[in-house]
Amino acid sequence: MFKKFIMAAALAVAVTFTAQADSIVGKTALASTLLIQTNSITSAATSNYTATASLEGCAGYGVVQVGFGLVGAGTGDVVANFAYSVDGVNFETTPSLSVTNSGNGAAMVYGVTSFTPKIAKAIRLVSITNGGGANATNVSVTIGILAHQ
C-alpha cells in the first residue's frame, strides 16, 4: 500500500510540472536592442531618443533591460523612460514606463523591469536621464517579449 501511495504521489508531481510547462508552449522569446551607446551620457543631463521596438504578436508579457557603467565614482540614479503606442505611430506624450538603476562607479549595472503591453503595438525609448554623478558609458537598452509562434 505504501509503495502504491509513493508511486501515485510521484505521478501527481510529474503531471503538475507538465501542466506548468505547457503554459508556454507555442510562444517564443524575442529581443530587440534599442540602444548600444559607448560614448558618454553627460552627468546631470537628459538624452532624447526615438528608437522603437515592435510589440506585434506579443503574448502579453515583456521586459526591458537597461545597463550602464559610470566613467568615475557615482551612485546616483540613471532613469530610462519609455512610451507605448496603440497604432505604432503616435506615442504617449508622457512616458508611462520607467526603469531606474543606481550607479555603482565604473562597475556595469543592469536592471530589468517587466511590463504588460496589452494592446500596444510598439514601445519607444524616449529619454535617459543621468543622475549618476559621473558620465554614463556603455549604455545598452534591450526589449524582450514573449510572442505567439
Using alpha carbons, select from 51, 52, 26, 36 the residue that is nearest to residue 146: 26
pLDDT at 28: 65
Q: How many CB atoms lie within 10 A of CB 31?
A: 12
Q: In the chain, what is the straight-line distance between the N-terminal and C-terminal CA atoms, in Å?
A: 46
Query: What pLDDT was estimated at residue 81?
Result: 94
CA dist., res. 102 & res. 123, Å (int): 23
Q: Let me know if residue 14 belongs to a domain.
A: no
Q: Does residue 21 fall inside a structural domain? A: no
pTM: 0.77
DSSP state of 139: E
Work out how many domains the chain is built from and give that number. 1
Query: Which pLDDT does position 118 carry in this prediction?
Result: 76
Rounded-to-integer distance, Cα 42 and Cα 49, Å: 15
User: Is 71 a member of any domain?
Assistant: yes
pLDDT, position 12? 31
Sorted by sequence, the CB contacts under 8 Å of residue 93 that are 6+ apart come out as 83
Do residues 91 and 84 make contact, with C-beta atoms less than 8 angstroms apart?
yes
CATH number at residue 61: 2.60.120
The reply to whether 93 falls in a domain is: yes
**Structural domain range at position 108:** 26-148
Could you tell me if 120 and 60 are in contact, meaning their C-beta atoms sit under 8 angstroms apart? no
Nearest residue to 143 via CA among 109, 117, 105: 117
Best CA proximity match to 65, nearest among 28, 14, 29: 29
Per-residue pLDDT of the chain (149 residues; tens, 9 = 90+): 434 333 333 323 332 222 233 344 455 667 777 778 777 888 877 888 888 988 888 878 888 999 999 988 889 999 999 999 999 999 999 999 999 999 999 999 999 999 988 789 999 999 999 987 889 989 989 888 887 76
